[in-house]
Amino acid sequence: AACSYILILIFLFFVGDCASLEEWGSGHVEGSVGEFGQCVCNVFLPDTSFPADRVEHMQTTSNQLSVKVKLQIIKVYYVQLEVLLGNLSNLTTRVESLESGPDKYIKLEFELLRIELREFEALVTQLKASLNSSSPAFESLYIEIRNMSLIVDQLESYDRSNLEVIRIEFAKLQRKLEKCQDDKDDFSNAGIGSCKHGGILRMGKPVVSQLNADLSAGYKYGGWGKDSKPLPGSENMYWYSGSTDTLVSRITQYSDYYNLIMRQGFKTHQLYVQYNYDWRGTGNNYIVRENNLYYQFRSPFAMGKLNMTSVKVEYKVIPMASAQFSYHYSANQNLDFAADESGLWVIYATEESKGKLVLGKINEVSFEVEEVWQTSIYKQSVTNAFMICGVLYATRSVDTQTEEIFYTYDTNKNEESHVSIPFEKFQDFYMHLDYNPTDQRLYMFNNGYYVYYNVKFKVS
């Protein structure tokens, strides 16, 4: 019963939360499989303003954890689902071994359950601190955890018949996890790093992770994502940079997704220290690669590279690059960095091209543009651009809810084409859109929110 209590609690978190989110009506819940094979329930809220009225509704329908928050609600649910479901799949394995294993393992298992409950308590404390909330919901959660600890103590005398209940709950959950798996499989139709596909067929729904780490919708200018070529041991790292204007003044690194969501960065690099240095950038079209931040250096107007390992900055002027032609949604977006399976790129425009978009391949050793392609589209009509497998994709706005990939340039064949691949937006404007070859996702900074998209490729 100790196991079943914990499992049922976790089960209720899952079913309760997803169900109540589904009750949000126009809200959308999308399942996927996380890094550890855990089922992740992603929350997509299509409304352009945060539906505070529905939060209230959710507070009353979700009795297990009616956390009293406003904007952070997305984060809370996301963290709980990801973490709890990760633990759940681990528990599945352990219950199976409980059933078959000799009695000495059972004693050990109870010991582990106790440890886990203490960890759970720490997690709740962390959430509580992170939300700065003194909600009674947390207090009842504490009571519940302590109660479960007591039950674990009483249950040292172990009863095999309880396992049947647990197995039924697991069977139910297994089906849910399998459904998640199906959803995920529908997208990943090309191996990571592989270019044996015919380019983008369609985009998934926008998956909203949470409001930015500054917890302010005023931080509209920024970006987030993962390193496109992580150093060994940094594969799970995320980064974020945000601002209320187009200046780029700092970047924060997080050891993994959980810490990103908890806003617990392990390092923040300041690009401006008065009287000391001014390495600031502008435009928010940067990327991180091998722990280097590649960004548009402000003064002089150049490509900037902050090596976050050595904390040194370099810049290199691109001959002919112009600071006159920004993207459609924001000023100062003159150099847009991108990384794909084939390397590092910079997208810009020149006076000579009269503002038409130019694509440059960067030699990562010399930090110079070594090859250039001229496109036929005006940079100012483009909202953003990214690269996949040596193909440039350019986007434009259709309406407040729809964006469209309207143009591609294939550097492998020196071929351009006009296409129409529409995709949903969470909110109208965005400052940052980049593909990451390590997980084949597109990362968008959408009016202050972390958003990503899964991509489905054409079979070639």
Cα–Cα distance measured from residue 187 to residue 102, given in angstroms and rounded to the nearest whole number:
42
CB of 124 to ligand NAG, least distance (A): 9
Beta bridge partners, 236, equal none
CB of 423 to ligand NAG, least distance (A): 31
Cβ-Cβ contacts under 8 Å for 141 (sequence gap 6 or more): 65, 124
Kindly tell me which of 96 and 144 has the beta carbon lying closer to ligand NAG.
144
Residue 123's nearest CA partner among 176, 90, 82 is 82
Kindly tell me which of 143 and 201 has the beta carbon lying closer to ligand NAG.
143
Q: Which residues here bind ligand NAG, judged by CB under 6 A? A: 36, 38, 83, 86-87, 90, 116, 119-120, 123, 132, 143-144, 147, 151, 290, 292, 307, 309-310
Kindly tell me which of 61 and 236 has the beta carbon lying closer to ligand NAG.
236
Kindly tell me which of 34 and 199 has the beta carbon lying closer to ligand NAG.
34
Asked if 376 contacts 356 with a C-beta cutoff of 8 angstroms, the reply is yes
> ∠ CA(407), CA(413), CA(305), 5° rounding?
70
Kindly tell me which of 6 and 347 has the beta carbon lying closer to ligand NAG.
6
**Token pair of 144 as six digits:** 């519940």
Residue 198: CA count within 13 A, CB half-sphere: 5
Cα–Cα distance measured from residue 273 to residue 251, given in angstroms and rounded to the nearest whole number:
14
Kindly tell me which of 361 and 425 has the beta carbon lying closer to ligand NAG.
361
Kindly tell me which of 154 and 460 has the beta carbon lying closer to ligand NAG.
154
Asked if 428 contacts 447 with a C-beta cutoff of 8 angstroms, the reply is yes
CB of 379 to ligand NAG, least distance (A): 27
364 C-beta neighbours (distance < 10 Å), count: 17
Kindly tell me which of 114 and 167 has the beta carbon lying closer to ligand NAG.
114
Cα–Cα distance measured from residue 158 to residue 357, given in angstroms and rounded to the nearest whole number:
70
CB of 376 to ligand NAG, least distance (A): 33
Kindly tell me which of 291 and 334 has the beta carbon lying closer to ligand NAG.
291
Phi-psi region of 291 (alpha: psi -120 to 50; beta: other; left: phi over 0): left
Q: Nearest residue by C-beta to ligand NAG?
A: 86
φ/ψ (deg, to 5) at 165 = -60, -45
Kindly tell me which of 116 and 424 has the beta carbon lying closer to ligand NAG.
116
CB of 55 to ligand NAG, least distance (A): 18
CB of 304 to ligand NAG, least distance (A): 12
Kindly tell me which of 151 and 421 has the beta carbon lying closer to ligand NAG.
151
Crossing angle for the helix pair 73-100 and 162-185, to the nearest 10 degrees: 130
